[in-house]
């Protein structure tokens, strides 16, 4: 089935008449975080103004067109077979406005850059988010968070959305129904596109303290998180991993936990600078030695890409193994031949 059909002629004409940037038959790898994959997009749309984004979304809704909206895709995996008819990328929407009690941003503003700027101006709650990839719109939808217990649910005042009826309206923080790394929007309980975010503007801490926390966050990011290889951060919901390991009925998981504890005690006691290869031992115990080089040495929840190509089968095998053993849920979103994300159950069914 061709990605571009005669039904798209009105959309192309609309984009052209309104000077909205777009690309036909675009390579997905040029449009998202990993910069890899063989997937294709029929029409990639890159609005530069909020008004343009609103107009495009409303037109697509009126025509019942399927489409997907992303920021820079740092929480998205597109398979080699991915075929998205219409993809809207918000990264050119970059307006930021400081008011007395709030900070306005377009949805496409870089979270890392924005958090650093706010922190250096003395605003609280952004310190731990410095260095977090993604856009503020995606972060507000996903309730992104990081060090010092900083997360979007604590600093988002409201979001401006276009709902499924094409109505532009405001959702307050309480209406977003935030939970750990999720919201009413990510769960799909409300079908809407975030077009702008308003943040709480609070100053209280000394600028010296905030700068020190930013410095510490950067150091912790390097020491605790995967920064050397391409990755999508936590593949599964991080908060579910530790309890799942502790409560697992698998004897091999129990053995891994005990081996890791003993090894860490020995290394501490001997004051050794060596690091115990916990992730390698995990995959050896489960007879998956080939997965070792594809998972970060810092966490079994972080898949890495050292090559410049995607191997869908290997990545899905990793998801299948972790989900089957620990019964945890995906934090990232995976797209194949539809703008609708796949879930871990569907992936496991494909491999079983």
Residue 63 has pLDDT above 70, yes or no: yes
> In whole angstroms, how far apart are CA 179 and each of 147, 184, 310?
17, 9, 31
Q: Per-residue pLDDT tens for 184-221?
A: 999 999 999 999 999 999 998 899 999 999 999 999 99
Calculate the CA dihedral of residues 29, 34, 35, 41 and round it to 10 degrees.
Answer: 10
Structure tokens at 291: 């997965």
Domain boundaries, the chain: 6-89, 96-224, 230-351
Residue 132, number of CB atoms within 10 A of its CB: 23
Check if the beta carbon of residue 20 is closer than 8 Å to that of residue 10: no
Say what percent of the chain tops pLDDT 90: 88
User: What was the pLDDT predicted at 263?
Assistant: 92
User: Is residue 270 scored above 80 in pLDDT?
Assistant: yes
Q: Give SS3 for 172.
A: strand
Rounded distance between C-alpha atoms, residue 320 and residue 349, angstroms: 9
Mean of the per-residue pLDDT values for the chain?
Answer: 94
83: pLDDT strictly greater than 60: yes
Residue 313: alpha-carbon gap to chain centroid: 21
Statement: residue 106 has pLDDT above 70 = yes
Mean pLDDT in residue range 144-155: 95
For range 308-315, the mean pLDDT: 94
pLDDT value of position 231 = 97
Nearest C-alpha neighbor of 197 from the set 121, 111, 116, 133: 111
What is the pLDDT, as a whole number, of residue 204? 84
Per-residue pLDDT band for 2 (boundaries 50, 70, 90) equals low
b (16+ CB within 10 A) / e for 283-303: beebeeeebeebbbbbbbbbb
What DSSP element (H or E) covers 335? strand 333-335
Burial class (CB in 10 A: 0-12, 13-18, 19+), 276: middle
Is the domain spanning 96-224 CATH 3.40.50.10610? The answer is no
Element (H, E) at 180: none
Could you give the angle at the alpha carbon of 140 between the alpha carbons of 58 and 241, nearest 5°? Answer: 130
pLDDT bracket for residue 267 (50, 70, 90):
confident
CA-based torsion, 250, 253, 259, 265: positive or negative: negative
Which residue from 218, 145, 208 is spatially nearest to 179, judged by alpha carbons?
145
pLDDT at position 4 is: 67
Asked if CATH classification 3.30.43.10 holds for the domain at 6-89, the reply, yes or no, is: yes
Q: Which of 11-25, 138-152, 264-278 has the lowest mean pLDDT?
A: 264-278
Which residue in this structure is represented by tokens 């008449």? 17
Mapped onto helix, strand or coil, the DSSP state of residue 280 is helix
d(C-alpha 343, C-alpha 341), whole Å: 7
Most distant CA pair in the chain, distance: 71
The 10s digit of each residue's pLDDT in 223-263 is 999 999 999 999 999 899 999 999 999 999 999 999 999 99
Give the C-alpha separation, 169 to 157, whole Å: 14
How would residue 269 be classed by pLDDT, with cut points 50, 70 and 90? Answer: confident
Per-residue pLDDT of 249-259, as tens digits, reads: 999 999 999 99
Angle at 112 between CA 236 and CA 208, to 5 degrees: 115
Residue 151 pairs in a beta bridge with 145
State yes or no: pLDDT of 1 exceeds 90.
no
């Amino acid at each position: 089935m061709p990605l571009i059909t005669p039904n798209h002629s009105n959309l192309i004409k609309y984009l052209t008449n309104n000077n909205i940037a777009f690309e036909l038959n675009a390579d997905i790898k040029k449009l998202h975080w990993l910069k890899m994959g063989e997937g294709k997009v029929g029409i990639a749309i890159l609005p530069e103004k909020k008004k343009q984004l609103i107009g495009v979304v409303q037109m697509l809704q009126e025509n019942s067109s399927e489409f997907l909206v992303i920021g820079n895709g740092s929480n998205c995996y597109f398979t080699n077979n991915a075929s998205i008819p219409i993809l809207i990328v918000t990264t050119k929407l970059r307006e930021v406005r400081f008011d007395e009690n709030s900070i306005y941003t377009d949805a496409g503003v870089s979270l890392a850059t924005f958090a650093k700027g706010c922190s250096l101006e003395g605003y609280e709650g952004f310190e731990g988010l410095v260095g977090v990839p993604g856009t503020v719109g995606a972060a507000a939808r996903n309730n992104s968070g990081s060090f010092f217990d900083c997360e979007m649910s604590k600093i988002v005042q409201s979001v401006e959305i276009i709902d499924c009826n094409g109505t532009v309206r405001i959702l307050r923080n309480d209406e977003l129904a935030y939970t750990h790394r999720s919201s009413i929007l990510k769960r799909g309980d409300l079908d809407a596109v975030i077009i702008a975010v308003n943040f709480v503007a609070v100053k209280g801490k000394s600028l010296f303290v905030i700068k020190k926390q930013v410095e510490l966050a950067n150091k912790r990011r390097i020491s605790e998180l995967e920064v050397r290889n391409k990755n999508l951060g936590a593949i599964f919901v991080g908060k579910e991993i530790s309890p799942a390991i502790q409560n697992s009925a698998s004897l091999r998981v129990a053995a891994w936990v005990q081996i890791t504890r003993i090894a860490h005690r020995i290394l501490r006691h001997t004051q050794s600078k060596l690091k115990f290869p916990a992730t390698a031992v995990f995959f050896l115990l489960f007879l998956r030695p080939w997965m070792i080089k594809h998972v970060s040495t810092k966490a079994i929840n972080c898949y890495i890409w050292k090559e410049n190509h995607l191997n869908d089968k290997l990545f899905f095998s990793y998801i299948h193994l972790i989900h089957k053993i620990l019964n945890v849920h995906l934090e990232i979103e995976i797209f194949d031949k539809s703008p609708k994300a796949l879930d871990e159950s569907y992936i496991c069914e494909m491999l079983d």
